[in-house]
Amino acid sequence: GAVVSQHPSRVICKSGTSVKIECRSLDFQATTMFWYRQFPKQSLMLMATSNEGSKATYEQGVEKDKFLINHASLTLSTLTVTSAHPEDSSFYICSGTGSVGYTFGSGTRLTVV
Which chain residues interact with another protein by CB under 8 A? Answer: 6, 32, 34, 36, 41-46, 49, 91, 93, 95, 101-102, 104-107, 109
- Cβ atoms within 10 Å, residue 20: 15
Q: Least distance (Å) from another protein to the CB of residue 32?
A: 8
Of residues 48 and 112, the one with the C-beta less far from another protein: 48
The Cα 28–Cα 103 span in angstroms is 10
Q: How far is the CB of 30 from another protein (least distance, A)?
A: 13
**85 or 102: whose CB is closer to another protein?**
102
Looking at the DSSP assignment, which residues form a beta bridge with residue 90? 110
Question: Nearer to another protein by C-beta: 56 or 84?
Answer: 56
Contacts of 17 (CB under 8 A, 6+ apart): 83, 84
Work out whether the CA dihedral 54, 51, 85, 24 comes out positive or negative. negative
Tell the smallest beta-carbon distance from residue 93 to another protein (Å): 5
Q: Which residue, 10 or 83, has its beta carbon nearer to another protein?
A: 10
CB of 47 to another protein, least distance (A): 10
Between CA 23 and CA 102 the distance in angstroms is 14
